[in-house]
């Protein structure tokens, strides 16, 4: 599919200001990044999908009724080999409380107690779904392989960063500079794939 987009405005299906700034800095001035609240005040959605793609589509659909131009939705999570891909699409509520990163990390470490380093492989995955003003869609993906540490390290980043060491690194993602994380992260790779498509 040839992607066409007449407008430079890109609505991102999130209200997370940190994510909006991160996307603006990756894409540069060619796009004016807007959040969901900029075009549909009070809009919310339930991420009830069973796959990253389904969740991204739920977000696009929620916004489409309010905005006719280009929309981007991303969905990401941590997939752990020893847990058959969990927490996956439920990464943000794995510990029982939506968005409570400490509980999520605590449950993950409890689940992996006694699992040796050689079996603690995991990856972060990010799916970006882009929909242009004709409703044509394109998917972009990013993946970052690594392993789950025995205990949290570092204070940067968010989510599972303190317990995730990317392949080739002896430090956790929470110990990396933000620019270094963006260069290898699932979201950075997916966003760069999107950027290169235009």
User: Which residues sit at the interface with ligand IMP, rule CB under 6 A?
Assistant: 75-78, 91-92, 104, 124, 157-161, 185, 187
CA distances from 164 to 32, 93, 178 (A): 32, 17, 15
- State which residue, 60 or 78, has the beta carbon closest to ligand IMP: 78
Residue nearest to ligand IMP (CB): 159
Nearest Cα neighbor of 91 from 11, 158, 146, 153 is 158
What is the closest distance, in whole angstroms, from the C-beta atom of residue 112 to ligand IMP in the complex? Answer: 16
Shortest reach from residue 156's CB to ligand IMP, in Å? 10
Residue nearer to ligand IMP on the CB measure, 133 or 182: 182
CB of 139 to ligand IMP, least distance (A): 15
CA angle centred on 143, ends 138 and 149, rounded to 5°: 155
Number of helices and strands in the chain (H, E): 6, 6
Per the CB < 8 A criterion, the answer to whether 129 and 57 are in contact is yes
Please say which residue, 104 or 132, places its beta carbon nearer to ligand IMP. 104
Local structure of 77: helix, strand or coil: strand
Beta carbons within 8 Å of 85's beta carbon, 6+ residues apart: 79
Out of 46, 74, 75, 100, the active site residue is 75
Assess whether 75 carries a catalytic annotation.
yes
User: Which of residues 1 and 46 has its CB atom nearest to ligand IMP in the complex?
Assistant: 46
Kindly state the smallest distance separating residue 46's Cβ from ligand IMP, in Å.
Answer: 14
Sequence-distant (≥ 6) Cβ neighbours of residue 29 within 8 angstroms: none
Residues annotated as part of the active site: 75
């Amino acid at each position: 599919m040839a992607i066409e987009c007449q407008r430079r405005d890109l609505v991102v299906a999130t209200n997370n200001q940190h994510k909006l700034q991160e996307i603006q800095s990756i894409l540069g001035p060619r796009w004016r990044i807007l959040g969901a609240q900029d075009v549909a005040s009070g809009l919310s959605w339930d991420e009830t999908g069973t796959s990253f793609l389904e969740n991204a589509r739920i977000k696009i659909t929620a916004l489409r009724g309010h905005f006719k131009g280009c929309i981007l939705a991303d969905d990401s999570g941590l997939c752990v080999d020893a847990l058959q891909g969990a927490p996956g699409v439920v990464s943000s509520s794995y510990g029982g409380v939506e968005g409570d990163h400490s509980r999520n990390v605590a449950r993950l470490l409890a689940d992996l107690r006694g699992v040796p380093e050689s079996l603690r492989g995991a990856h972060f995955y990010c799916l970006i779904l882009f929909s242009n003003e004709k409703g044509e869609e394109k998917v972009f993906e990013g993946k970052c392989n690594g392993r789950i540490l025995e205990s949290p390290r570092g204070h940067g980043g968010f989510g599972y960063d303190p317990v995730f060491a990317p392949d080739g690194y002896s430090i956790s993602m929470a110990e990396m500079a933000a620019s270094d994380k963006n260069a290898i992260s699932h979201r950075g790779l997916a966003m760069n794939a999107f950027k290169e498509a235009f």
